[in-house]
Every structure is written in structure tokens, then in C-alpha cells.
Amino acid sequence: MSGVGVRIENLTKRFGSVTAVDDLSLEIKPGELFTLLGPSGCGKTTLLRTIAGFYYQDAGAIYFNDRRIDGIPPYRRDTGMVFQSYAVFPFMNVYDNIAYGLKARRVNRDEIRRRVLDAIELVRLTGMEKRRPDQLSGGQQQRVAVARAVVIEPSVLLMDEPLSNLDAKLRVGMRVDIKRLQKKLGITMIYVTHDQEEALAISDRIAVMSKGKIVQIGSPWEIYHNPANAYVADFIGVTNFFRCPVERVGKEGTTIEFQGKRLTVPGILGRDVNEVMASIRPEAMQIISVEGESVGSDGITGISETSSDERDKSLFSFSAEVYDSTYLGSVLSIIAKVPDGTEIQISIANPRREGLIGEGKKIEIGFSPGDLIIFPVGEEINGMRLNKQQRAL
Amino acid sequence: MADTVTAIGRVNIKRRLLDPWNLPIVIFILSFLLFLIYPILSVVKASLIDVSGSTISFASYVKFFTKAYYYRALVNTLLLGLFGTIGIMIIDIPLAYFYTRYRIYGQVAVGTALWIPYLTPAFIGAYTWLILFGKFGLVTLLFKNIGIMIPTIGGFGGVLIVFILSYYPLGFILLTGAFQTIDPTLEEAAHNLGASDIRRFWTVTLPSATPSILNAALMVFILIIDSFGIPAIIGVGTPVLTTLVYGEFTSELGGPPVMASTGATILLTISMTILVIQRVYLRKRSFVTSGTRKPVPVNPRPLKKLFLSFIFFIVLIVSLLPIVTIVISSFTKADGPVLQYGHFTLDHYRETFYAIVKPLKNSYFLATTSMILDLVLGSLLGYVIVRKGKRLATFIDAFSALPLGIPGVLLGIGLILAFSHKPMVLIGTGWILIVAYFVRRLPHPVRTVSAILSQVNPNVEEASVNLGVPPIRTFFRVTSRMIMPGIISGGLLAWTASVADLTCTILIFSAKWKTLTVETFAQIRSDLYGPASVVGIFLLLSVLIPIFIVNIFTRVKESS
């Protein structure tokens, strides 16, 4: 089975006065596992359902390879969709569920049998052919849904948040399975999720969406390390924003005032920009010293392993006051306040220290300037709010 | 670019117009305009025609509200509705509460037995109370023999008691449903905070169930004021609106039925008001919580358990008394209304058998035909309400529920007025009955189907379409399977209600299309208690048997 390329041209879909997908263009390579990522309401599911044919676009076109398919009704579009709610037919057993699409295609009985059994083996449900959906766990039902979509050998597999109804551990296992299955079959897959970790884990490429538009397309690494703007930086993972005045824009980059000190970062946002948003990831920072604690033999405060020599030379440092620290097993997460009141988050991986850092303790924080990215002021606001909400959830 | 946008826009509009789901909507709206709205308007119009027969006048309403002969019926109707509803709630609230919260002896038997009087056509129930407590009633005569004169059932008080006895099973079923959907954690919280059982009932259970109680009260009220059979059989000398309208209509046959129409219009106004209150006010006030747990009945202290069991034992007896009475009566020698108990006979069956066959066939044919029409249109409408657009759904939902507030006598007169002349003459045919049943019972499948479908994730249907099965075929292959329980229960409700219908049928039947209910009513009215019991039993069985068969089927299916 060789994959099909998907091309979307200037697609617009409105619901009343709401524009869910806004003049969106996109190209997906054959055999690619492509993820649409964004918060709820960003238009990703609408886009997927328009590709499946459940919605009809207000403008634009959709192509599978070079064939325009947006006029074809959903039942002849030859896509295989896996729904968030599984949507297995409750009155059919596993075998009949998976055979459903093949029967609709009038495949002969022997071949149906062969292909269904293959699909059952593929999703590791062998022996459960006669079970009814209510005798299966959520994960098993989702496997039936995947098998049912795969068995018809569709041009494109469409996955609409397929894992979000499963519990956390199962989710991680299933996403590995889905990725391996997709690679094995070489089928083109469009995967919709709001879970950025899932997107990073599973995708060949990710399109980050906001308000019906694509904000950035790239590999997981590009999206995380070179976010196109503050929205992406904020939505993917967690980041800290600092509002910084610009001192000078020159050949070597932009020189900003960061927490009272001068710092030059590569990249220019424009000649007449006098303020930027500087972003730095929690895990890119480390704690150099804690007020009233002596330097231990395994690092200054026993917090991380880095030797003091390394740190001193390359790190840019600033001070903050601890607001809260939380031990999460693999990570020690610290929320601190810088003098202007901004809250920042620092993650210390593999914490060696036993006990938390008390509220109100002054700490010295260091990071290497290369990890700092600057963005124009204003873009991040929406994203930051969203991210706060998600954290609250 | 702009051209393609408008072109696609045009395609979208065309898609919407060609949507096959528009067909049931159009059929529904046209049929309701023709068979419901037009007849209603005909009645309202007839009530406004003055003596000369041409100009509009309110003379009939002035006459209605000034002459005691007329307004007495209105007063009786309202008082019976009010006292009947209050009485039923006073009985049902404690019964339903005890039944859902405490273990008693024979709990299942009581629960099952209460369905029998609930399903019994009200006038059959009334008739059995007459057999027991009427002028020649079994109990009356027993007391007479030992020298005690007990008051015979009849008059306002008699009608009120029979209303309560006939409709409290419905109230009980509705209220146990309400008490069972209260989140048990609420009551556990009340206990945990130190409330006693009694305090818990007044402060948590009752307030949580209040919207459901009011809802049940309104349903009971509408049933009482629309009832024809009970006041017609028990309430000689106590006119109510339905019997007044029937009497006026049959005596006004020569001229336009002005006073009958006036009474029917007033009755319509009352029941529509109730329906509007129910929909607008109560819909927003449901506290019913969708917890996964149901309250579990607990074992009370032994003495309390005995006491409660005794109360429910009485309920059981009262529930089964009518059916036992009617069966015994059918085998008892009779001289008109006087039954000679102890003298066994098969005469009634022998004499009545041939008289039953035709009404039985008629009733089954009419109810089945109208049920099929209701099921086809009702399931499609239920689908449209749940799956297609909000604005349209609200309208169809409300419009299709309208017959629930239309009194049977009004629809009966309306159909006669509307379809007794060209171009459409239905009077004297079976069609008029089919139309009446179809319109009156359509709300049942619409409601049962939409209730079930709203629990079904639309993704299931989309999955079928996605796998290559077009929408209409998906409806029959997948959706219909998922909503089958709703179709079955909706069909059952529609069928049994049509077979048991007297209120509307009594006005529109013709000699050729006599139904079981009409036949039974005629026998009762002629004081032929023996044959009446036989016909009544056939009517009762026709209603009970299908429901028990379906119940057994679903139980077998659930357990497998």
C-alpha cells in the first residue's frame, strides 16, 4: 500500500458568522504521519471532517494526489476515520464491525475473511472476533475502530483525537502502536490532537493551528526549538516570557536589557523595535545558588549535577525569589518571582536534592543565552492565556 | 475567486434543498396543518358563529358563562382536576418515596401489579368500581344484606374517587422514576451532615424532586380534564366539559354545533395553558442529576418494614381488584346490571363472541395502521430533531408535542366539522379514525426515538458513512438498530393508547367502524354488565398482552 499525497488549497469553512477554517492551504506528503495540533476551537477537527466529507467547504479545494475530491460524498471518498468516541457499532461483534466497510464495498466473502483476520492480528485482538463492544475495554474498542478504518485500505487515515478517552498509561502505549502501524502500512495519516506531547511523540510533521489558520508547520524538533512565534512557543511545552527593552540592533543581533543586565541574542525583529518578548524554557534554566545554603560536593546546592566551572563561564544569570516548589519525581518544579513580579517556572531534571526550597528564598538562576528566543510583543497574549487555562485543567 | 465562492454557496443551498431529510418534515407539517390545525380552527370558528350563521359573535361564550347548565360543567372540571391531582399527589409522593428508599416484602410484585391499573383503559376501571360499589354493586348489596346502607358510588365525590383510583398508578410510575434519578450522594451528604430520614426527605429529596412532581401533577391534571369515560359512566348528574360537549354535540346534530364547540374550545384553552406551563416553565427546572448510581432501597426496622409492606399490600389489592372483578363478572349470571354472584355461566361469552369479532378486528386494524404511520414518520422526525439543526428541531419538537394538549373531544368534533364535506369526506370511513389516532399518538414515537437517539453518538453513523454506506442506507442499517428500543416502546404506547381510546372515538366512529371501546361503552351504558365484562376483558387483554410480551422479550435480551 503506497500513500497518497493530500493537498489543500485556500480552504474556508464557516459556521454562521464563525470562520472555523480560514483560507487554509497545506500539503501532506505520501506516507506521512501529519498532525494538526491546536487548542479546542482552532479548527483542526473541522478541517479533518471537511477532508472526510462530513462538512462541505465554503471555498477552496482538496486533492488526493492530483484528483480533486471535495465534491465526492463522504461515503465514496475512501478515507478511513477513527473517532474520539471509538464509534464502534454496539450491536455488532468485533468481526462484523471490522468487516462492515468491506461488505459495503462488495468484496467477496473469502477475501473479507482473510483481510478482517489480518487486521485483527495487526491490532492484536486475535481471539476476540466474537466479542461485542460492551465486552471490550476502552483500549480494545479503539483497536477495533483502528482495524475497521485500516482494513478498507483507505487513501488516507483520519484520526480525530483517537486517544483522548483513554487513561494516561494506555495513551502512551497506543500512540506507539499507532505510529508503528502507520509506518508498517506506509499509509498517509492525518492526526488531530490538542495534546502537544502526543503530537511531538507521534508525528513526522506538525501543523500548529490557531483560529482557523496554520501558524507553523515543521518537524517536532523544529516546532519545539524554533517556534515561529510566541504563540507556538507557548502552546508547545511550557515557556517563560520576559518583556525586555531593546538597547541596540546590530549585525551581531539584538541587544536587550534582561533583568537589569545587557544580553545580546542572535536575530533581528526589525530596526525600530524597542521592546521584545524573550522566551526561555523551564528546563533550559538551572539554579546556581540558593540563599543560605552552602555549596555541596556534587554541585552548588545539590540540585543538579553540573559542575561549577562549566556553569560560571557560559551561563547568564539573574536572581529571583522562590514562590513555590513542587517535587514531581523525575522533576523538581519551581515557581519563582523576578523583581518586577513576573512568575517564571524552572524545571530541574533528575533532582538529587531531598526536600524542597522554602518559599521566599532568594535564588540565582542561570541559562545559556543560546536558549533564549525573542519575539515581537503582543503575539503571545492569546497563547499564554490558553496555556494558563490548560495548566489549570 | 468570488465566482467560485458564490458557485459553491449555490451548491450548498442546493444541497440543503435536496436533503432527503426535508421530506419527512414537509409531510409532517402538511399533515398536521390539515389534520390538526384545520380541525381545531373549524371548532373555534363554529363556536364563534352566531344564530344567523354568518357573522362572528361571542354570544355563545356569554351564554356559556351565564347559564348554570354550562358553567357548572366547567367548574366541575376544574375542581375535579384540582382535587384529583392533589389527592393523587398526596397518595403517590409517600408511596413512591417509600418504594424507592425502603425494602419491603413483595416489592417486585407491587411494582409489576401497578402497571395493570395504569394500562387499563380508564373507563373500564370506572366500570369495575361501578360493579363493586354501584347501586347494584357487589359490595353495596353485601352491606345491604346485613342491613347497612352504604353510599353508592356516583356524583361528584364518586367521580373524584374513581379519578384518583384510575390515575394514581401513572403518578406513582412517574414519581418513582423521579425519586430514582436523584443522585444518592445528595442524600448521603444530608445523612452525613446529621439529617434524620424524615429531615432528609423534607430538605433534600422532596426539593430535588419538586420539578418532576409538578410535571407529573400537570400530566395527571390534563388526563383528568380530558377524560370522558369516567364521568360518563360514574358521574350521572355531575356534568364535566367532556360529557357536556359530547351531549351537546349529539343533540345539536341538526344545526351547527355551537355550544359543543364553545365547550371544547374552553377545554382546549385550559389544557393548552397547562402544556405551555409545562414546556416553558418546567423544562428549565430539572434537578435530575445524571449520576451513574441509583438510590438503593435499604432495609427498615422490622416493625416499620411490616407496616410499609402492609400499606403496599393494600395497594396491590386495590390494583388487582378491577381485573379480578371483571373476570368474575364475565362468568356470572346477570340480569341487566344485577350480577348474581355464585351462579357461574358461560352465556356471556357465547352471546357476545360474534359481537366482539368485528370491533376487535376494527380496533386492531385501525390502531395498527395508525401506529405504522406514526412509527415511520415519528422515527424520522425524532432523527431530525436530534441530528439536524437546532432551530428547526425546537420547532418540530414543540409542534409534534401539540396533540398532547389537544382534548380528544375537540379533535373529534374538529375532524367531523372539517371532513364532512367536499373535497375531502372522511366521515363514515375508517380513515377518520386512522387520522385521529395518527395525529394523537405521533408524539409518542417522536419522544421515545429522540430520547434514545440523543444518547447515541453521531460518530457511530458517521463511521458507517465513512466506511462507504450512504446516509439513507446508514439510517436503516445502523441508526434504526440503535433506536429500535425507542421504536418498539413508542409503537407500543401508540398502539395501546389507540386501542384504548374512547374520548375521541365515541364522536367519530361509524356503525361500520365500531371499535372495542365503543362496544364496551355501549354495553355498559345499556346496563348489560355481563356482556360488558366480556368485551372489557378482550379490551384489557389487547392492551396488556403486547406490553407483557415486549417486556419479556427485552428482559430476555438484556440477560443474554
Residue range A88-103, pLDDT digits in tens: 999 999 999 999 999 9
| B9 contacts on A by Cβ (under 8 Å) | 58
Query: Does residue B7 sit within a domain?
Result: no
Whether the per-residue pLDDT at A142 is higher than 70: the answer is yes
How many whole angstroms separate alpha carbon B403 and alpha carbon B31?
Answer: 13
Question: What is the pLDDT at residue B16?
Answer: 63
Whether the per-residue pLDDT at A386 is higher than 80: the answer is no
Whether the per-residue pLDDT at B476 is higher than 80: the answer is yes
Query: Does residue B53 sit within a domain?
Result: no
How many whole angstroms separate alpha carbon B92 and alpha carbon B170?
Answer: 9
Question: What is the pLDDT at residue B168?
Answer: 92
Per-residue pLDDT reduced to its tens digit, B259-276: 899 999 999 999 999 988
One domain, residues B311 and B273 = yes
For the ranges A41-45, A261-265, A296-300, B209-213, which has the lowest average pLDDT? A296-300
Of B4, B11, B466, the CB nearest to A79: B466
Whether A54 contacts chain B with CB within 8 A: yes
Question: What is the pLDDT at residue A357?
Answer: 80
**Share in percent of chain A as helix, strand, coil (round to 5):** 30, 35, 35
One domain, residues B179 and B210 = yes
Whether the per-residue pLDDT at B73 is higher than 90: the answer is yes
Q: Average pLDDT of B173-180? A: 87
Q: What is the mean pLDDT of chain A?
A: 86
Query: Does residue B461 sit within a domain?
Result: yes
Whether the per-residue pLDDT at A254 is higher than 90: the answer is no
One domain, residues B155 and B232 = yes
One domain, residues B396 and B510 = yes
First to last CA, chain A: 41
Whether A52 contacts chain B with CB within 8 A: yes
Whether A1 contacts chain B with CB within 8 A: no
How many whole angstroms separate alpha carbon A223 and alpha carbon B209?
Answer: 54
Question: What is the pLDDT at residue A391?
Answer: 37
Confidence of residue A350 (pLDDT cuts 50, 70, 90): confident
The domain locations on chain A are 6-231, 239-392
Query: Does residue B16 sit within a domain?
Result: no
How many whole angstroms separate alpha carbon B349 and alpha carbon A171?
Answer: 70
How many whole angstroms separate alpha carbon B361 and alpha carbon A247?
Answer: 98
Q: Do A56 and B464 touch (CB under 8 A)?
A: no
Whether the per-residue pLDDT at B8 is higher than 60: the answer is no
Q: Average pLDDT of B317-331? A: 88
Confidence of residue B91 (pLDDT cuts 50, 70, 90): very high
Q: Average pLDDT of B329-354? A: 83
**pLDDT exceeding 90 applies to what percent of chain A?**
50
The minimum CA-CA distance between A261 and chain B, rounded to whole Å, is: 53
Q: Average pLDDT of B171-194? A: 82
One domain, residues B351 and B326 = no
Tell me how many domains chain B contains.
2
One domain, residues B231 and B298 = yes
Q: Which domain holds residue B501?
A: 346-560
Higher pLDDT among residues B557 and B419, named by residue: B419
Q: How far is CA B415 from CA A83, B39, B165, B232, B431, in A?
A: 50, 5, 32, 22, 11
One domain, residues B131 and B253 = yes
| B12 contacts on A by Cβ (under 8 Å) | 56, 58
* Domain spanning A6-231: CATH superfamily: P-loop containing nucleotide triphosphate hydrolases (3.40.50.300)
Query: Does residue B191 sit within a domain?
Result: yes
Q: Average pLDDT of B11-20? A: 65
Q: Do B462 and A148 touch (CB under 8 A)?
A: no
Question: What is the pLDDT at residue A101?
Answer: 93
Confidence of residue B120 (pLDDT cuts 50, 70, 90): confident
Confidence of residue A79 (pLDDT cuts 50, 70, 90): very high
Whether B467 contacts chain A with CB within 8 A: yes
Contact B404, B498 (CB under 8 A): no
Per-residue pLDDT reduced to its tens digit, B299-310: 888 888 899 999
**pLDDT exceeding 70 applies to what percent of chain A?**
90
CATH of residue B302: 1.10.3720.10
Of A54, A73, A152, the CB nearest to B467: A152
One domain, residues B305 and B362 = no
Instruction: Decide if the complex's ipTM is over 0.90.
Output: no
Question: What is the pLDDT at residue B378?
Answer: 93
**pLDDT exceeding 90 applies to what percent of chain B?**
37
One domain, residues B278 and B352 = no
For the ranges B3-17, B313-327, B398-412, which has the lowest average pLDDT? B3-17
One domain, residues B323 and B425 = no
CATH of A239-392, one of 3.40.718.10, 1.25.60.10, 2.40.50.140, 3.40.50.80: 2.40.50.140
- Is the pTM above the cut of 0.90? no
One domain, residues B359 and B292 = no
Closest CA to A292 of A363, A202, A227: A363
One domain, residues B237 and B352 = no
The minimum CA-CA distance between B21 and chain A, rounded to whole Å, is: 16
Confidence of residue A383 (pLDDT cuts 50, 70, 90): very low
Q: Do B462 and A87 touch (CB under 8 A)?
A: yes
Whether the per-residue pLDDT at A303 is higher than 60: the answer is no
Per-residue pLDDT reduced to its tens digit, B23-49: 888 999 999 999 999 999 999 988 887
Contact B312, B502 (CB under 8 A): no
Topology match between the domains A6-231 and A239-392: no
